[in-house]
Amino acid sequence: MIGHPKDLDVVTHEVTHIIQGYPKYDPVWLVEGIADFSRFKFGVDNSGAGWRLPDFDSKMKYTDSYTTAARFLVWLDKNYNGIVQRLNSALKDGNFKNDETWKNLANGKSVDDLWKNYSNNPSI
């Protein structure tokens, strides 16, 4: 906090990790993406801290983690209502099985398929 005294919403990100309580910290990009998704959704003064989700860039990949993954999750939640909560539950319960979970939650689509769809229309 010393270097970023206005960044109070970093607490939102870190408290999300406490709430997550996942048995495994894997996949890292999704764990951190959900924490930044929570910050985006529940943060009280992200703009005051100069924090925001990045604009989409075709060089991005969901595995870039943190804000890039969070932006993807915002898009996913907009297009697959409640998917982030269901991903969180699967991770928390230890039932997350990468390809299988994505396909079950997203009408048979893999995370790579979803990323392609997002890349074609990344509006959030």
| Tens digit of each residue's pLDDT (9 = 90 or more) over 47-89 | 999 999 999 999 999 999 999 999 999 999 999 999 999 999 9
Average model confidence (pLDDT) across the chain:
94
Q: Which of 124, 86, 78 is CA-nearest to residue 105?
A: 86
**What single-letter amino acid sits at 55?**
D
Q: What share of the chain has pLDDT > 70, as a percent?
A: 96
Average pLDDT over residues 34-53: 95
pLDDT at res. 9: 85
pLDDT at res. 40: 98
Average pLDDT over residues 104-122: 98
Report the first-to-last Cα separation within the chain, whole angstroms: 29
pTM above 0.85, yes or no: yes
Give the 3-state secondary structure of residue 31: helix
Q: Is the pLDDT of residue 5 over 80?
A: no
Encoded tokens for 2: 């010393």
